[in-house]
Amino acid sequence: MDIPFGLQDLITNRDLNNKISHPLFIFKNQTRRSIDAHSFDQRIRLFEEHNLSKPQFWQLGSKRRSDDVGIVQENQLPREIVLTTIMLLGGTPVVLYGEEIGLNQKSFPLMPWKSAGEYRGFSSCSVNSTNNCKSFISSLQTRNPTTSVKRQEALGGKSKDSLLTVYRHLSKLREYESFQFGLLEYGYDSSSNIFWFIREAPGHRGYVTVLNLNQDPDEIAHISLYDLSKTDVPSRVHYEYQWPKAHLPTSREAHIDSDNLFIHSQSVNIFWWGAKLQKPNIFFKTAKEHSQNH
């Protein structure tokens, strides 16, 4: 798992197993209805409504305890949508090694270092090694991985093809103040199947992330950010990121009409606006109300 420097001693395996770390995926299963913006919103609000421990860490994939837990590929949503939520919603994202490139393995996967060899360079175990060595390695998954960092790098840097490219961009976004300690507002719209969340810290850029969960490729949602969020989103915003394809002007200088947006299905859309001037007493009042409600 990837843990920010300085927090290694604060985060323990016990923390991760005590229901304060939660995966956001829902299995593909014939008995489960398709996930939509409402059910996605309920998955997150569940912790508040049922007095469960509020997650301090969000996991991208499974806890890797057993094969019946599931993997990222079994999520009904695209991995990129789940990854965006994990990285930017709040708390600490937990990304187990290999998940940032979409490694399709379950419990105890190996991170291969070489393309050749029985264990892909992970171990020097050989046919002449001791039984203990071979027994340990045999308990791990050593089959050929479906992807690798080298393959992800060779995809030309296009985010629609490379999960690693998306992961790197989101990692840079997390360095911004609003994603580190900004207030969080989130919600959904059933008619357009849109889930959104806003992160904004006083005196810093504000960001809104819009996820279109509609699975019909021909459906394009026409939305107004102000009407959608009922929050003071400026009428002019700027492009930050879109996946799988940029349909809007990508120049940081270009102004985008936030009340006249076309959001494609199964997409990630992130916009930003400049820092707002806000009196400290108003901000702290808002922050206090926010902490009491969450």
Instruction: Kindly list the domain boundaries of the chain, sorted by start residue.
Output: 13-109+145-171, 176-280
Q: Identify the residue whose tokens are 């001693």.
A: 9
Cα–Cα nearest to 179, from 199, 209, 208, 198 = 199
50: which DSSP letter? T
157/151 Cα distance (integer angstroms): 11
pLDDT at residue 140 in the model: 62
Name the residue type at position 100.
E
pLDDT at residue 1 in the model: 37
* Residue 36 bridge partners (DSSP): none
At residue 175's C-alpha, the angle toward residues 169 and 176, to 5°, is 100
Q: Identify the residue whose tokens are 């609003």.
A: 178
Residue 42 is encoded by which pair of tokens? 């309920």
Residue 288 makes CB contacts below 8 A (sequence gap 6+) with none
pLDDT at residue 4 in the model: 41
Profile the chain (294 residues) by mean pLDDT over runs of 10 residues: 41 51 53 77 70 57 43 67 86 75 62 62 61 64 66 66 86 92 90 94 93 91 90 88 88 90 95 77 55 56
11/55 Cα distance (integer angstroms): 13
Superfamily covering domain 176-280:
Golgi alpha-mannosidase II (2.60.40.1180)
82/75 Cα distance (integer angstroms): 9
